[in-house]
A and B are shown apart, each in its own frame.
Chain A
Amino acid sequence: MKELKILAVIATLVGITYYGIEPYAHHVMHPEVKAADFTFGDLKNVDTKLAGNVENGKTLVEANCLACHAIEKAGHPAMMPNADSAASYGVVPPDLSHAGRIYDKNYLANFIFDPVSAMHLSHKYPVGGTKTFPMPSYNWMTPQEIMDVVSYLQSVAPKVADNAEGHKVTFEAACGRCHSMKYGQLEATTPADVIKAYMGATPPDLSQYIKSRGEHYLHGFINDPQVLLTGTSMPRVGLNAKAQEEVIAYMEETGDRKKAEREATGLYVMIYTFVFAMLAYLWKRKIWSEVH
């Protein structure tokens, strides 16, 4: 009884200290911010309820987008090697093969209408400023035309498997133009010196971001970087919830690939240690019965 009391005192002191230096300190240093919004409800330039026409979208894309963008999956390869296109635009323009799948519909439509406001980068590309975003606004298109383009992009996007391979494809499409993933042998498609000049700082290698930032932070950050890191030059990329989950899954599969083994081993070790502890207890009782 007395020993349990001692244990309770120690547990209380340790518990208070732990609460102070872990959950509480974490809460102070990283205050909660608003939750991720996958509807991108702040973007209202395009009426996304309009049903798009795939055929018309195809015509519009071929006339307006292919000068810069590749759509490999629809038979439109890139015009020039990555290094050259990066040199001309500042960053490799994305291949739009997966655009219809990974981007939220509302975001994509509003992005075409005005990229800078959709990306939350008006601080970097102010109206009338010296820098301009490489892609022009297509605000001269009618909402119907924009929705046609969106529908076309959705129609060409291939499905990917729900496994590490598929997650990797999504990661490359969503993040791979700027970010490297050393532990996954992925190098950013835009050359390092070019992307540094374009962004103002080298975008970090994401190999250990699943550990250094954690799933919770990544979840909010990818959805809208400005909320957690005001002023950053990383754009809001507009991934839908599923694509974002796939990106984070890939980050875990490269940055913490022993997770499953760790959790399974942990269980066995705990069971073993419990048996060890119980037998130690019984043995101790037997031995001490002789001296008490």
Chain B
Amino acid sequence: MENESRRGFIGKAFGAVAAVGGVASLLAMKKTWDPLPSVMSAGFTTVDVSALEANKLDIVVWRGKPIFILKYTEDMKPTEGRSVKVGDYYYSVMIGLCTHLGCIPGYEEDKKLFKCACHGGEYSADGKNTFGPPPRPLDLPPFKIDGTTLVLGEEGPEYKAMMAKAGGA
């Protein structure tokens, strides 16, 4: 009788230990599937925008996508909900993929517009589609402003405000 309950207890203890081992190894397997630290840190791209030249397009890669950063000149008017103010200057910060078929438009400095070589779509400097097949303005990446640097991949208050505006419009 006593023997039996002891055997029952040992059996249960053995089962419990085995289960703990199983769960622990599952956890290790889950970790193996996690993105690598290098991938995670590459998921947040930091750009210092203060040194950029006005009306010269800067392209940075963020999560495999080209990000357009364009500093405005004095005479370029900011667009509410699309232009970002960092420090004293306004910038366009946009995902540089044509919303038609995903080509990368080029920036024409003299006309201050983006032109897509694939099918001739055009966007204004703030990314609004002005001509050709693109169905909507260039998409905006999540960003956070940190002094004179932009952190792509984090949602800062300015980004959230812009999204709220876009949602309401």
Q: Which residue of A lies closest to B121 (CB)?
A: A231
Interface string of B95-119 (1 = CB under 8 A from A): 0000000011010001000010111
Distance A201 CA – B118 CA, assembled complex (angstroms): 8
Do A201 and B103 touch across chains, with their CB atoms under 8 A apart? Answer: yes
Count of residues in B whose CB is under 8 Å from the partner chain: 10
Q: Is A85 positioned at the interface, with any CB of B under 8 Å from its CB?
A: no
Nearest chain B CB to A204's CB is how many angstroms away? Answer: 11
Q: Is B15 positioned at the interface, with any CB of A under 8 Å from its CB?
A: no
Q: Is B87 positioned at the interface, with any CB of A under 8 Å from its CB?
A: no
Q: Which of B106, B110, B119 contacts A130 (CB 8 A)?
A: B110
Q: Is B8 positioned at the interface, with any CB of A under 8 Å from its CB?
A: no
Q: Which residues of B contact A230 (CB under 8 A)?
A: 119-120
Distance A8 CA – B74 CA, assembled complex (angstroms): 74
Do A231 and B118 touch across chains, with their CB atoms under 8 A apart? Answer: yes
Distance A231 CA – B117 CA, assembled complex (angstroms): 8
Q: Is B132 positioned at the interface, with any CB of A under 8 Å from its CB?
A: yes
Q: Is A117 positioned at the interface, with any CB of B under 8 Å from its CB?
A: no
Main secondary structure of the interface of B (DSSP, over half): loop
Q: Which residues of A contact B132 (CB under 8 A)?
A: 231
Q: Which residues of B contact A130 (CB under 8 A)?
A: 110
| CB proximity to B under 8 Å, residues A224-250 | 229-233
Distance A201 CA – B98 CA, assembled complex (angstroms): 13
Do A229 and B120 touch across chains, with their CB atoms under 8 A apart? Answer: no
Q: Is A200 positioned at the interface, with any CB of B under 8 Å from its CB?
A: yes
Q: Which residue of B lies closest to A229 (CB)?
A: B119
Do B117 and A123 touch across chains, with their CB atoms under 8 A apart? Answer: no
Q: Which residue of A lies closest to B133 (CB)?
A: A231
Q: Is A192 positioned at the interface, with any CB of B under 8 Å from its CB?
A: no
Nearest chain B CB to A213's CB is how many angstroms away? Answer: 16
Do B117 and A199 touch across chains, with their CB atoms under 8 A apart? Answer: yes
Distance A217 CA – B68 CA, assembled complex (angstroms): 34
Distance A229 CA – B103 CA, assembled complex (angstroms): 14
Q: Which residues of A contact B120 (CB under 8 A)?
A: 123, 230-231
Nearest chain A CB to B17's CB is how many angstroms away? Answer: 54
Distance A130 CA – B115 CA, assembled complex (angstroms): 14
| CB proximity to A under 8 Å, residues B116-153 | 117-120, 132
Interface residues of A (CB under 8 A from B): 123, 130, 199-201, 229-233
9 smallest beta-carbon distances between A and B, as pairs? A200-B117, A231-B120, A231-B119, A201-B117, A233-B117, A200-B106, A201-B118, A123-B120, A201-B103
Offer 5 A-B interface pairs, CB within 8 angstroms, sorted by A: A130-B110, A200-B115, A201-B118, A231-B118, A231-B120
Give me 10 other A-B pairs in contact (C-beta within 8 A), A201-B117, A229-B119, A231-B120 excluded. A130-B110, A199-B117, A200-B117, A201-B118, A230-B119, A230-B120, A231-B118, A231-B119, A232-B119, A233-B117
